[in-house]
Structure 1
Amino acid sequence: MGGTWKYAARTHPFAGKCSCYNYSCGRCFMSLAFAGGSHRTVPIELREKLAFSSEQATEALARFQKQFPGSEAVLLSTCNRIELYAADEERRGPPPPDELAMFLAECRGIDPTNAGRVLGGEQGTAAVKHLFCVAAGLDSMVLGEPQIVAQVKQAWQLAQQSGTTGPLTGELFQAALRAAKRVTTETAVGRERLSIPSIAVADFASGVFERFDDKRVLLIGAGKMAAETLRYLRDAGAQNIRIINRSLERAHSLAQRLEAQTGDYNNISRELVDADLVVSTTGASEPVVTLDLYQNVEDQRQGRP
């Protein structure tokens, strides 16, 4: 991590603007702040309520512009993380973390008092370090997982399209993405095929089943994560894999490419009854397999795990 931070100091967004020129005094970073939470700090029930779809994120950024005119903002929302980064090089500085946390809660219709108990934040140097760790996968549920880099980039691009970026967030996020690339290529982080799908199959599912060749697997979703999960399942020996997706065409396409079968998304209850292992990889902000749905089919599963 030390090498990553030294690289950040050479390429950070305030190069040439700080009178100390060594970027260690902390004053040159005070134009930055963030607030939010992740799998480490926020219960999954609240993370699901705080999650933003692309459309909701666009609306939130437009609201941010009106509420904090002149400030830059980037909103990062994944299944395990919700964070709002803000910057303002004017003398007043960016909104403080507690205001950013309240803004996130209000955007999602959540009581700010409840959200404030679990949403944290940082300002200045700590905020910069945090973003670099996030982009490099060092703060992920699975250390070094590669998906977060693309998610950070997508968050930045969405903010660009929404008109809430500027010179500070621009240089900051570009430097974070460059540092993330160096972490991947120059350190041991990322050399193994580590991701949430790989851990789900290798650690969790393998702890329940000794073998997969005789198991019926239901894969919900048909995107990149679904394709990666399917490959891990194949490597583990799974042969009977059914894919269901809101778009039947996408499910058929993935099944054809990777030699799987397709099921009926509209009859998900029946699919759950028949499956020995269910893996959900959708990008939906709300859970597809809810507790109520599972309890409704549990008796029909006849005690199978």
Structure 2
Amino acid sequence: METGQFFIAGINYKKTDAAVRGNYAINPEQYAIILQRAKGAGIKELFVLSTCNRTEIYGIAPDATTLVDLLCAVTIGNKSDFVQRCYIKQDEEALQHIFAVGAGLDSQILGDYEIVGQMKLAIKFAKEKGMIGSFIERLFNTVLQSSKQIKNETALSGGTISVSFAAIQFIRQQLTDTLDKKIVLLGTGKIGRNTCKNLVDYLDTKNITLINRTAEKAAELAESLGLQYADWSQLENEIHQADIIIVATNAEQPVITAKNLKVDSKKILIDLSIPHNIDPSLAQQDNVLLANVDDLSKINDQTLQKRKAEVPKAMNIIRKHMNEFAVWNHQRRHVPILKAVKQKLHDMHSCGLFLTSRRASEDINTEAIQKVVNNVAVKMRNRHQPGCYYIEAINDFMTSSH
């Protein structure tokens, strides 16, 4: 399949740990800089997917190095380390990858569909900056259709398993009873909200205090679930009293450190953020049990095994949608020729080259010309193959003089 120079360069959980991935995570300001510089680098279309499990840059570019340079120029990680750890995929392989990502087949927890929402936001942001064209837009829409069909027709996402749910399972493994344990949850974004609801549903506890930099968001979620909330200024006091601290913030530096957390009793710390929002060095303290997203991904159960059995079904659906995209991508290259044919016919009509009688002139109108163009399109779809000279004949027609 020909897709031009469509590249993906990225790192994910398979070859890099959470600390390394954090060096290449990007925030909205960094993303905006990448998009601003992209056109000057000869890139036609581009978006960046940065989550707790991966940072990937997708684009139609002169080469993959151009994409890597753009990404590494705004991150705290250096280019040489990125190149050693990254994967680069082009054209067919790149298409297979984005379909797998959208289906949850490449997620750290198999079948996790949170990635779809993250992809939507990444592409929406790039589109607002003028870096999404017809290729990526059509590609992503096809990926969404494939993902939706997989979700509806397979059990790839069956059962309850996600990073937020894995956090609950981790707590269960450490504690037989959580009713008397005080839980503090930092961050009320999507992952924070999901984790909060799982805490209420699966641990059957209301002894939860929510803290968010925007206090109104914490208050709204707390009131809807019958929980408590505290202002960010009360952070140090709240975490000191807590038995379990879960962090789902999106800060560039740790928000829980040895400076604000005084450990005088056993505490479970769970960091759902990339880069780390809990200082990893806290794990060295007595009475501290710290888990990050990589630790949580290792928690397996029967649900995961059932999901693995659904992978072949998902792959069949992906192949079907990839073929549909390949047909569209093949046909879209004919558009410039068809536009030129239409213009040529209009020019010939204007010059009177179709004029054999007054009646003939009246019959040859815009609708008739469009009919001819449509017929040409059908023939091009059906005859563009080795040994066929239809395209060459069209080109001869286009270059002929009136």
TM-score bucket of the superposed structures, by smaller chain = 0.7 to 0.9
Distance 1:116 1:270 in 2: 43
Distance 2:179 2:173 in 1: 15
Report what 1:76 is aligned to. 49
Report what 1:52 is aligned to. 26
Q: Deviations over 1:117-137 (max 9, x none)?
A: 112211111110110111111
1:191-230 equivalence runs, <5 A: 191-202=158-169, 204-230=170-196
Higher relative helix content? 2
Q: Deviations over 1:281-305 (max 9, x none)?
A: 223344433xxx1476354336544
Instruction: Work out whether 1:266 is the aligned partner of 2:233.
Output: yes
The aligned amino acid for 1:210 is T
RCO higher in structure (CA 8 A, sep ≥6): 1
Distance 2:147 2:240 in 1: 42
Distance 2:255 2:114 in 1: 21
Distance 1:54 1:176 in 2: 24
Q: Deviations over 1:137-160 (max 9, x none)?
A: 111121111211111111111111
Distance 1:253 1:296, change over 3 A: closer
The aligned amino acid for 1:301 is S
The aligned amino acid for 2:224 is R
Once the 2 structures are TM-superposed, how far is the Cα of residue 175 of structure 1 from its aligned partner? Answer: 0.9
Larger displacement relative to structure 2 (96-105 or 174-183)? 96-105
Q: Percent identity?
A: 29
Larger displacement relative to structure 2 (102-111 or 113-122)? 102-111
Distance 1:288 1:170 in 2: 37
Distance 2:180 2:53 in 1: 32
Contact preservation (8 Å) 1:211, 1:237 = no
Larger displacement relative to structure 2 (45-54 or 132-141)? 45-54
Contact preservation (8 Å) 1:35, 1:85 = yes
Distance 1:32 1:46, change over 3 A: same
Q: Provide TM-score, normalisation by structure 2.
A: 0.63
Give the aligned length.
268
Report what 1:297 is aligned to. 261
Report what 1:40 is aligned to. 14
Report what 1:105 is aligned to. 72
Q: Deviations over 1:243-277 (max 9, x none)?
A: 01101111111110011111232232322221111
Contact preservation (8 Å) 1:276, 1:304 = no
Question: Which structure's CA Rg is the greater one?
Answer: 2
Aligned partner of residue 85 in structure 1, secondary structure? strand
Distance 1:215 1:84 in 2: 42
Contact preservation (8 Å) 1:212, 1:239 = no
1:1-305 equivalence runs, <5 A: 26=1, 28-69=2-43, 71-87=44-60, 94-202=61-169, 204-235=170-201, 236-289=203-256, 293-294=257-258, 297-301=261-265, 304-305=287-288
Contact preservation (8 Å) 2:206, 2:226 = no
Q: Any gaps of 5 or more consecutive residues in structure 1?
A: 1-25, 88-93
Contact preservation (8 Å) 1:252, 1:262 = yes
Distance 1:188 1:294 in 2: 43
Distance 1:304 1:262 in 2: 26
Aligned partner of residue 279 in structure 1, secondary structure? strand
Distance 2:166 2:263 in 1: 29
Contact preservation (8 Å) 1:101, 1:120 = no
Once superposed, which parts of structure 1, at least 4 consecutive aligned residues long, lie more than 4 Å away? 302-305
Q: Any gaps of 5 or more consecutive residues in structure 2?
A: 267-285, 289-402
Distance 1:297 1:109, change over 3 A: closer
* C-alpha RMSD of matched pairs (Å): 1.9
